[in-house]
Amino acid sequence: MKRATGIQAPQAGRASRRGFLGGACATLFAPHVIAAPSQLRFTHAYGETVLAEPARRVVSVGYNTQDTILALGVVPVGIRYWFGNYPFGVWPWAQSYLGGAEPKLMIGEVSMDTVSGLAPDLIIANGSGISKAEYALLSKIAPVLMQGENYSTYGSPWHEDTRRIGRALGKSDLAEDLVAGVKAKFAAAKARHPEWQNKTAAAAWHNTGETGAFMREDTRARFLSELGFVPTKKLDYIAAKDGFYTTLSPEDLSPLDADLLIWISAMDDATDIANLPMRRTLAAHRAGREVFAGQLISGALSFGSVLSLPFALEQLEGDIVAAMDGRPETVVASSAKAGIVP
């Protein structure tokens, strides 16, 4: 399954989307050979990737890895398009990091010919959803960096990806600084709003007649947990699909009945959400505790990166304050604009 943008209903089925070169493997596993101290080693679900030195020329095939690479001061020579209508697949919060460069934009499934033609010394594929067969093919072009072995395909936290990619680029110190900076911003937000701690929250979507929510390992749910919110008990009891989302019965939206409900949408028009019949049964709706994240903000939450998360926090904090002030008459600006106020 392609990684859901969080702004449309995930579709059934997984789309196919990488490790040593043969000679390197033979050398590594030969008896009594000791790896050079300067080597960078990364284990993952498909094996191990070894870099003789930090990478300089990289291709980004992860759905959101361009953000992290750019934040670390490297412009990828190729970027895989995820969604959105922005130059080179780079959204507004990261555009300035391009510095006038024009990376090759790769659309759809990963093309081996295109990647090979870009002559990378590293292919960054964290959260790419590539298959083991695709990993093997890409590894014949260049070493392939994947998310850590302890995480599902789309479940690697933003800070782990930042550190992992930073190490592969020889920029571990900068990666730590970036992580510390973002964590400080969220810690400051939590300190400003102690009343949010341990309140329930859900990030939900409704599209083409289907309603669902994002689960603990998803970037949108992690955004809420970074602010001190927790999932509803009903939502927490549901098994996640592909590790990051679930669908709900249109007759029972009670798992979404949280202290805070954020609607994630691909569009700035929320007509489908406004017309969702069972939404009217939710206390979050009746009490005016809904926030609407339209195209740009939902994109920032979906990317869930070291660059997009501070952007999302800056944009959403005021609306969350309004939704959580305990007064139903307080207007939440994003919900009012989208037409979903009670």
Positive or negative: CA dihedral 69, 75, 80, 82: positive
The list of the chain residues with pLDDT below 50 reads 1-2, 4-36
- Bridge partners (DSSP) of residue 202 are 261
- Bridge partners (DSSP) of residue 40 are 51
Residue 95's pLDDT is 98
- Tens digit of pLDDT for each residue in 162-183? 999 999 999 999 999 999 999 9
Give me 275's structure tokens: 């017309």
Domain residues for the domain of 300 are 193-338
Query: What DSSP string describes 80-107?
Result: E--SSS-GGG--TTTGGGGTT--PEEE-
Total number of domains constituting the chain: 2
Residue 41's pLDDT is 97
218 and 106 in a single domain? The answer is no
Phi, psi of 100 (to 5 degrees): 90, -5
244 and 177 in a single domain? The answer is no
Specify if 81 maps to a domain.
yes
In contact, 266 and 8? CB cutoff 8 Å: yes
Residue 231's pLDDT is 97
Buried b (16+ CB within 10 A) or exposed e, 40-69: bebebebbebbbeebbeebbbbbbbbbbbb
49 and 172 in a single domain? The answer is yes
168 and 197 in a single domain? The answer is no
Residue 3's pLDDT is 54
Buried b (16+ CB within 10 A) or exposed e, 247-264: ebeeeebebbbbbbbbbb
CA 258/CA 286 separation, integer angstroms: 12
Specify if 30 maps to a domain.
no
Which CATH number do you get for residue 238? 3.40.50.1980
Specify if 28 maps to a domain.
no
Specify if 310 maps to a domain.
yes
146 and 261 in a single domain? The answer is no
Give me 5's structure tokens: 């943008």
Residue 23's pLDDT is 33
CA-closest candidate to residue 78, choices 126, 46, 110: 110
CA 259/CA 331 separation, integer angstroms: 16
141 and 276 in a single domain? The answer is no
Domain boundary among 160, 183, 206: 183
Domain boundary among 130, 163, 183: 183
CA-closest candidate to residue 253, choices 205, 221, 302: 205
Residue 108's pLDDT is 93
CA 273/CA 172 separation, integer angstroms: 43
